[in-house]
Structures are given as structure tokens and as C-alpha cells.
Amino acid sequence: MPQMQLDVPVRDAYNFGVGVDLLSGAAMNKPVSNDIINSIDHAEGATVNMIVQRIQTTHELEQALGISAEASYGSPSFGAGISGRFEFAKSAKVQSSSLFMTVTATIKLKVLSIDAPFLTSEAAKIVDNPSIFAQRFGNVFVRSMERGGIFIGVLRIDTSNSEESESVSAELKGSYGLFSAEAKTKFSEVEKKFSSDVFVQMYHEGGPANLKIKDPTNPLELLTNANLFLDSFATNPDSSAVPYLVTLAPITIATGPLPPNEEDLSHAQDVMRFCAQRRSTLLDQLNLLQLIVDSPSRYDFSNGSSLKEIAAAAANTQSDLDLISSCASAAINSPKGALFPKDFAATKGVTFPSAVMPELFPIGKPRPIGEKTVPKFVGLTVREADALAVETSIPIEYRRAESEDDIFGDDLQTLEFGNRGQDFPPIPHTDDQIVVNVQLPAPGTVLKAGSTVGLGVTLAPGVPG
């Protein structure tokens, strides 16, 4: 049977020769010596890739982020190693009634590797006890490490339905139209014509620490930041690079046998790969259903569609996601007992899938002019909150507590002037020392024209009062 090696994103505690449990991605003790680390001689160049594309599913965004099915549910799984990328993919909330564009840049420096791995003396002592060996050292080890970085920018244009999304795409003349010379003007025209909301998100590993979006209405900033990301590797590759991928190789290629049950491990990986693919599809399904459930006023149900039926489908889809998670977790914990979701559900006395998509969906209403989606202000300084309010055209109001039960706290002017009573000298504070700790309504809420977002403030941690 061929020896399988798996490339996965780096996680904490991964280093050359460190053992890893293949199914959970957990770092173990070190079974393999890393005395000699080599790379290919006379190969100092880098591999650079930049892609601008439209995405239509969570799975496509996960692919752009380098999240494979193996890494998604296998090594490393659920919040381990790739949690940052996976959370970014979830936060993008990809679904068919919005238009999503991405610009992705990856750079890979030369690979470093253990050329001739051999077991450490500690590992060699218990190699004849597969059970204890696996508990201490896992079943694979970090053989090679790839350095570099990844950058991905996501532009989301909220529309009323998938047909309007296609119309916006046509107006922008495809993915690359967003980054043409006339992009900003064209972009503004589309916003007005379709009453669309726009969101820009950015994620990167490696590169400059100070990349930021200055103008969320200008899609060219994503391309600019992608180029700044790549430029940092040209000028100072060592300080810009991060450990990017590692190759996990079976311990058996060193000097000792791999613990038994390789067939069980292979089957368990098949189960988890299937679970990862189903999860991506179910996330898209849940995002679409939940969008309707959360904002029913934005849809016309006169065609016979039922909000109750859609809400039930959303709840059942969440149950299917929970079962997929439990199924993958069971395969990690017990490879011999790994079952595909349908059979796993039967052992629990339930059916998979339980969600049935409605035959009829409501028709999206055009968004009223002036409506905006509330961004997140909590955690920003007053200066940053003021800037965000200007950028997004969201009216804000700083409020103070009017009673003991009021969620709003300190008065902004009191904090700024530092008044502490007659017996104490004032301690003034700048807008960079005061942070937002409360907001109403919450982020993601649709703010009707003429409404205001209320903000509560307090001193930033460590700032003397």
C-alpha cells in the first residue's frame, strides 16, 4: 500500500520531527531526529500566484484559502491550525443571492526538509508497543516545511436575489472589471442602480503587519494590498514569511513501523473527506435559508412560499451540520468505527439528511434607498468609530447610562475632559484612549433610513482614569 503524505497548514507546536496524530492534527512528542535540515541547492527563487475570480460557494472560497477536504475535517480539524482561514470563510457568508469576488495572492519560498529521517532514541525504545507509541508520538511526523504567505480579499455585493447578482456581475464586466481603470466610477453606479450594500474583507498570513482597508467603497484597495503583500517578500522575504505548510509523513518511513490499523485510518479519512464536502454544501444552504429567516420583510411571500417552512428547513440544516460534526468527531476518536453520515445517523436513531429544501422560495424585494447594514463598532477607539461612521455613512450617537439598568455607561465628554470631582484634578483623555464597548443595534442589523446607531464608551484597558 502506498505511503500517504499530507500537506496541511502549520499550527502551533509543529516543528521538524514533531509527531502528529493524523486524524486530529494534535502535536505529540518528537519521534524523529531533525539533526540535518536541507533544501534543494541552487533554487533560491519563489513561486508566486495571483488570481482574481468570482466565487459562488463556500467550498470555492475554502479552495482559494487552501483548505482541503482532508484539512477541513482531518488534520488539523475544527479550529486547529486552519481555524483562522475557516472562520474567515464562515464570516464571508457566501450564498447565491449576493455577488462575491476574490483576489488571492500566494507566495512560496524554498522548501526545507529532513532528508534522512530516523527515530529518536526515546521513540525507538517503545516502537514494539504500537498502542503506547501512538499515544506518545502519533502516527505521522513533520518532515518538510514550506514558507511564504497567503493573501485573500473578498468583495461582497448584497443584492435582492441571484438574478440581480448576475446583473451586477454583467454590469461590472466580470471579475477583472472590478480592478479596471474605471472601476470606482462603475462601482458607484452599480451601488446606486441596484441599491446594494458593499462589504470588503481581507485576510493574510505573512507579509506586512500594517495592511488595512482605508476606503471600503474602493475595490482597488484589495488589489493594492495584494501587491503590497507580494512586494514585502521581494524586499525582505525572511521577515515577511511565515511557516506556511508542512508535510506530514508516516513515521514508518523513518526506522520504525507505523502502528497498525492503516486500513482503518484510510477509511476514516474517506469519511471525514465526505463530511467536509457535505459541510460546505450545507453551510451554503443554511446561509441562504437564514438570510430569509432573519430578514423576512425583505422578501415577498405572495407566490405561496412559507416562512415557517423555510425556518424549519434552516433548523433541520443546522441539525444536519451538527450530525456531520459528530460523525467526523467519531471517526477521529475511533477510526475502526468510522461510519458515513447516513449510517452514523441510523445508530443515533435519526435520519440524514433531515433537511428538505422548500419547493418555493420568496422573491427578494428591492432594498429601500437609504437602508444600511450596521457594521461592528465595539472594540474601536472613538477616533476609529468616527472614521468608520463617515466611511459607511452610518449616523452614530454617543450615549450615557440614564439608570442603573442602562447598558450604556460613561459619558463621552466626562471621559474626554477627565472630570473626577472637586477633590481630584482632572485627567483628560484623547479619542484614542476611549473605546466603544456597547452598540445598539447589533452588527449586521439593517438600519432604516433616518435611524441612528447608539454607542457606549469606556476607557481603554490600561488607561488611568
Confidence class for position 420, pLDDT limits 50, 70, 90? low
Give the integer Cα–Cα distance in Å for 260 and 251.
12
> In terms of Cα–Cα distance, which of 78, 394, 105 is closest to 231?
105
Put simply, whether the predicted model's pTM sits higher than 0.95 gets the answer: no
Peptide bond into 76 cis (omega under 30): yes
Peptide bond into 428 cis (omega under 30): no
CB 117 within 8 A of CB 19: no
Cell of 212: 488595512
| Residue of higher predicted confidence among 350 and 416 | 350
E runs forming strands in 286-391: 299-300, 363-364, 372-373
Other beta carbons less than 10 A from residue 459's beta carbon: 17
In the beta sheet, which residues pair with residue 66? none
**Residue 336 CA to chain centroid, in angstroms?**
31
Q: What is the pLDDT of residues 277-326, one digit of tens each?
A: 999 999 999 999 998 998 888 899 999 999 999 999 999 999 999 999 99
Find the DSSP H helices in 295-377: 307-333, 341-347
Tell me the mean pLDDT in the region 104-122.
88
Give the integer Cα–Cα distance in Å for 406 and 377.
19
Lowest mean pLDDT among 75-79, 192-196, 432-436, 437-441: 75-79
| 8-state DSSP, 198 | E
Find the DSSP H helices in 109-202: 121-125, 130-137, 162-171, 183-194
SS3 assignment, position 340: coil
Domains in the chain: boundaries: 6-253, 262-364, 372-459
Query: Is 217 exposed, middle or buried, given 0-12, 13-18 or 19+ CB atoms closer than 10 A?
Result: middle
Average pLDDT over the chain, rounded to an integer: 82
Provide the sign of the torsion angle of the four alpha carbons 39, 43, 45, 49, taken in this order.
Answer: negative
End-to-end CA distance of the chain: 68
- The owner of cell 476606503 is 215
